[in-house]
Amino acid sequence: MIQVILVLILAAIIFILFRKFKIVFGEEGEEVKTVLTSKIHSDAQKREERIKKKLELNKALEKARALKRRGQRDKAEKLLLKLLKLFSQKAEIFYELGLFYLEEKRYKNAISVLNLAVAKDSENGFFHHALGLAYLKNKEYRKAAECFDKALHFNNTIAYRWADLALALLGLEKYKEAKEAILKALEIEPHNVRYRAIFDSIARKTSK
Protein backbone atom coordinates (compact mmCIF):
# COMPACT_ATOMS: atom_id res chain seq x y z
CA MET A 1 0.00 0.00 0.00
CA ILE A 2 2.80 2.36 0.95
CA GLN A 3 4.55 1.58 -2.34
CA VAL A 4 1.38 2.44 -4.27
CA ILE A 5 1.09 5.77 -2.41
CA LEU A 6 4.77 6.55 -3.12
CA VAL A 7 4.28 5.78 -6.80
CA LEU A 8 1.23 8.06 -6.92
CA ILE A 9 3.13 10.89 -5.16
CA LEU A 10 6.05 10.48 -7.56
CA ALA A 11 3.71 10.54 -10.54
CA ALA A 12 2.07 13.71 -9.19
CA ILE A 13 5.48 15.38 -8.75
CA ILE A 14 6.49 14.43 -12.31
CA PHE A 15 3.20 15.77 -13.64
CA ILE A 16 3.65 19.10 -11.77
CA LEU A 17 7.24 19.43 -13.00
CA PHE A 18 6.12 18.64 -16.53
CA ARG A 19 3.41 21.33 -16.37
CA LYS A 20 5.85 23.84 -14.92
CA PHE A 21 8.75 23.27 -17.31
CA LYS A 22 6.99 22.16 -20.47
CA ILE A 23 8.23 25.42 -21.99
CA VAL A 24 11.39 23.46 -22.70
CA PHE A 25 9.54 21.21 -25.08
CA GLY A 26 6.06 20.72 -26.54
CA GLU A 27 3.87 23.52 -27.87
CA GLU A 28 5.33 26.32 -25.72
CA GLY A 29 8.81 25.12 -26.61
CA GLU A 30 7.92 25.53 -30.27
CA GLU A 31 6.72 29.07 -29.54
CA VAL A 32 10.02 29.91 -27.82
CA LYS A 33 11.93 28.41 -30.73
CA THR A 34 9.91 30.55 -33.14
CA VAL A 35 10.60 33.71 -31.09
CA LEU A 36 14.32 32.94 -30.97
CA THR A 37 14.42 32.23 -34.70
CA SER A 38 12.65 35.52 -35.41
CA LYS A 39 15.10 37.43 -33.20
CA ILE A 40 18.11 35.83 -34.88
CA HIS A 41 16.63 36.67 -38.28
CA SER A 42 15.91 40.24 -37.18
CA ASP A 43 19.47 40.68 -35.86
CA ALA A 44 20.88 39.33 -39.11
CA GLN A 45 18.72 41.78 -41.09
CA LYS A 46 19.92 44.67 -38.93
CA ARG A 47 23.54 43.65 -39.47
CA GLU A 48 22.96 43.47 -43.22
CA GLU A 49 21.33 46.92 -43.17
CA ARG A 50 24.29 48.37 -41.23
CA ILE A 51 26.74 46.84 -43.70
CA LYS A 52 24.69 48.12 -46.63
CA LYS A 53 24.57 51.63 -45.15
CA LYS A 54 28.33 51.51 -44.54
CA LEU A 55 28.97 50.45 -48.13
CA GLU A 56 26.65 53.17 -49.42
CA LEU A 57 28.41 55.74 -47.23
CA ASN A 58 31.83 54.67 -48.48
CA LYS A 59 30.63 54.94 -52.09
CA ALA A 60 29.20 58.39 -51.43
CA LEU A 61 32.42 59.60 -49.78
CA GLU A 62 34.43 58.30 -52.73
CA LYS A 63 32.05 60.14 -55.06
CA ALA A 64 32.66 63.37 -53.10
CA ARG A 65 36.43 62.87 -53.44
CA ALA A 66 36.04 62.23 -57.17
CA LEU A 67 34.02 65.45 -57.54
CA LYS A 68 36.81 67.35 -55.79
CA ARG A 69 39.43 65.83 -58.07
CA ARG A 70 37.39 66.90 -61.11
CA GLY A 71 37.14 70.44 -59.76
CA GLN A 72 33.41 70.18 -59.05
CA ARG A 73 33.87 71.47 -55.54
CA ASP A 74 30.39 72.97 -55.08
CA LYS A 75 28.83 69.60 -55.86
CA ALA A 76 31.28 67.87 -53.52
CA GLU A 77 30.35 70.20 -50.66
CA LYS A 78 26.60 69.75 -51.28
CA LEU A 79 27.02 65.97 -51.26
CA LEU A 80 28.99 66.04 -48.00
CA LEU A 81 26.41 68.30 -46.34
CA LYS A 82 23.65 65.96 -47.51
CA LEU A 83 25.53 62.99 -46.05
CA LEU A 84 25.77 64.80 -42.72
CA LYS A 85 21.97 64.89 -42.54
CA LEU A 86 21.68 61.20 -43.42
CA PHE A 87 24.56 59.95 -41.26
CA SER A 88 24.85 62.57 -38.53
CA GLN A 89 26.74 60.23 -36.18
CA LYS A 90 29.47 59.25 -38.64
CA ALA A 91 32.74 60.98 -37.72
CA GLU A 92 34.32 60.27 -41.10
CA ILE A 93 31.87 62.60 -42.85
CA PHE A 94 32.84 65.48 -40.56
CA TYR A 95 36.47 64.62 -41.26
CA GLU A 96 35.97 64.70 -45.05
CA LEU A 97 34.09 67.98 -44.85
CA GLY A 98 36.80 69.39 -42.60
CA LEU A 99 39.46 68.45 -45.15
CA PHE A 100 37.34 70.11 -47.82
CA TYR A 101 37.22 73.37 -45.84
CA LEU A 102 40.97 73.15 -45.20
CA GLU A 103 41.60 72.94 -48.94
CA GLU A 104 39.23 75.86 -49.45
CA LYS A 105 41.16 77.88 -46.81
CA ARG A 106 37.95 78.25 -44.82
CA TYR A 107 39.83 77.56 -41.63
CA LYS A 108 37.18 78.54 -39.08
CA ASN A 109 34.68 76.22 -40.80
CA ALA A 110 37.31 73.47 -40.82
CA ILE A 111 37.97 73.94 -37.10
CA SER A 112 34.24 73.71 -36.25
CA VAL A 113 33.65 70.59 -38.34
CA LEU A 114 36.85 68.79 -37.34
CA ASN A 115 36.13 69.42 -33.66
CA LEU A 116 32.89 67.51 -34.21
CA ALA A 117 34.81 64.67 -35.89
CA VAL A 118 37.14 64.45 -32.89
CA ALA A 119 34.20 64.59 -30.46
CA LYS A 120 32.61 61.62 -32.22
CA ASP A 121 35.84 59.62 -32.50
CA SER A 122 38.60 60.79 -30.16
CA GLU A 123 40.73 57.71 -30.85
CA ASN A 124 41.56 58.63 -34.44
CA GLY A 125 44.97 60.26 -34.86
CA PHE A 126 44.16 61.49 -38.38
CA PHE A 127 41.21 63.49 -37.03
CA HIS A 128 43.42 65.15 -34.39
CA HIS A 129 46.10 65.93 -36.96
CA ALA A 130 43.62 67.48 -39.42
CA LEU A 131 42.22 69.64 -36.61
CA GLY A 132 45.78 70.65 -35.74
CA LEU A 133 46.36 71.71 -39.35
CA ALA A 134 43.23 73.88 -39.26
CA TYR A 135 44.45 75.59 -36.07
CA LEU A 136 47.94 75.96 -37.54
CA LYS A 137 46.59 77.63 -40.71
CA ASN A 138 44.46 79.90 -38.50
CA LYS A 139 47.62 80.81 -36.52
CA GLU A 140 46.29 79.29 -33.31
CA TYR A 141 49.63 77.69 -32.56
CA ARG A 142 49.02 76.47 -29.01
CA LYS A 143 45.88 74.57 -29.98
CA ALA A 144 47.63 73.24 -33.08
CA ALA A 145 50.52 71.90 -30.99
CA GLU A 146 48.07 70.20 -28.61
CA CYS A 147 46.31 68.47 -31.52
CA PHE A 148 49.58 67.31 -33.08
CA ASP A 149 50.70 65.94 -29.71
CA LYS A 150 47.48 63.92 -29.51
CA ALA A 151 47.94 62.64 -33.06
CA LEU A 152 51.50 61.55 -32.21
CA HIS A 153 50.17 59.71 -29.17
CA PHE A 154 48.35 57.35 -31.54
CA ASN A 155 51.24 56.97 -33.99
CA ASN A 156 54.63 58.65 -33.59
CA THR A 157 56.18 57.04 -36.68
CA ILE A 158 54.46 59.39 -39.16
CA ALA A 159 57.02 62.01 -40.16
CA TYR A 160 54.64 64.79 -41.16
CA ARG A 161 53.06 64.79 -37.70
CA TRP A 162 56.44 65.71 -36.21
CA ALA A 163 57.05 68.30 -38.93
CA ASP A 164 53.70 70.01 -38.36
CA LEU A 165 54.30 69.96 -34.60
CA ALA A 166 57.64 71.68 -35.29
CA LEU A 167 55.81 74.41 -37.24
CA ALA A 168 53.35 74.96 -34.40
CA LEU A 169 56.20 75.16 -31.86
CA LEU A 170 58.02 77.54 -34.18
CA GLY A 171 54.92 79.74 -34.17
CA LEU A 172 55.02 79.66 -30.36
CA GLU A 173 58.72 80.62 -30.51
CA LYS A 174 59.66 77.41 -28.71
CA TYR A 175 62.70 76.93 -30.89
CA LYS A 176 64.43 74.18 -28.91
CA GLU A 177 61.29 71.98 -28.89
CA ALA A 178 60.65 72.82 -32.54
CA LYS A 179 64.16 71.68 -33.47
CA GLU A 180 63.70 68.42 -31.56
CA ALA A 181 60.39 67.78 -33.36
CA ILE A 182 61.77 68.40 -36.86
CA LEU A 183 64.78 66.21 -36.13
CA LYS A 184 62.31 63.41 -35.31
CA ALA A 185 60.69 63.95 -38.73
CA LEU A 186 64.11 63.85 -40.42
CA GLU A 187 64.99 60.61 -38.61
CA ILE A 188 61.98 59.00 -40.28
CA GLU A 189 62.40 60.68 -43.68
CA PRO A 190 65.99 61.99 -43.87
CA HIS A 191 65.77 63.11 -47.51
CA ASN A 192 62.52 65.06 -47.28
CA VAL A 193 63.13 68.53 -48.77
CA ARG A 194 60.26 70.16 -46.86
CA TYR A 195 61.47 68.91 -43.51
CA ARG A 196 65.01 70.07 -44.28
CA ALA A 197 63.65 73.55 -45.11
CA ILE A 198 61.78 73.66 -41.77
CA PHE A 199 64.97 72.61 -39.98
CA ASP A 200 66.93 75.40 -41.70
CA SER A 201 64.24 77.92 -40.76
CA ILE A 202 64.43 76.89 -37.12
CA ALA A 203 68.23 76.95 -37.22
CA ARG A 204 68.17 80.56 -38.47
CA LYS A 205 65.88 81.52 -35.60
CA THR A 206 68.12 79.91 -32.97
CA SER A 207 71.30 81.42 -34.41
CA LYS A 208 70.06 84.99 -33.88
Q: What does the pLDDT read at residue 48?
A: 47
52 CB neighbour count, 10 Å cutoff: 10
Q: Which residues of 107-124 are buried (b: 16+ CB within 10 A; e: fewer)?
A: bebbbebbbbbbebbeeb
30 CB neighbour count, 10 Å cutoff: 10
Taking residues 182-195, report their average pLDDT: 97
34 CB neighbour count, 10 Å cutoff: 10
pLDDT in tens, 80-92: 999 998 888 899 9
Q: 147, 128 in Cβ contact below 8 A?
A: yes
Q: Residue 17 above 70 pLDDT?
A: no
Ranges 84-93, 151-160, 191-200: which has the least confidence: 84-93
Taking residues 54-72, report their average pLDDT: 88
Taking residues 150-161, report their average pLDDT: 98
Q: How confident is the model at residue 23 (pLDDT cuts 50, 70, 90)?
A: very low
Taking residues 160-174, report their average pLDDT: 97
Helix (H) or strand (E) holding 139: none
Q: Is the pTM higher than 0.85?
A: no
d(CA 18, CA 151): 63
d(CA 55, CA 64): 14
User: Is CATH 1.25.40.10 correct for 66-155?
Assistant: yes
Q: Residue 178 above 60 pLDDT?
A: yes
Taking residues 9-21, report their average pLDDT: 58
Q: How confident is the model at residue 43 (pLDDT cuts 50, 70, 90)?
A: low
d(CA 94, CA 120): 9
Q: 165, 153 in Cβ contact below 8 A?
A: no
Taking residues 108-134, report their average pLDDT: 97
Q: How confident is the model at residue 57 (pLDDT cuts 50, 70, 90)?
A: confident
Domain coordinates in residue numbering, the chain: 66-155, 156-208
Q: What does the pLDDT read at residue 24?
A: 46
Look at 116 and 7; give whichever has higher pLDDT. Answer: 116
Q: What does the pLDDT read at residue 206?
A: 80
Phi-psi region at 192: left, alpha or beta (left = phi > 0; alpha = psi -120 to 50): beta
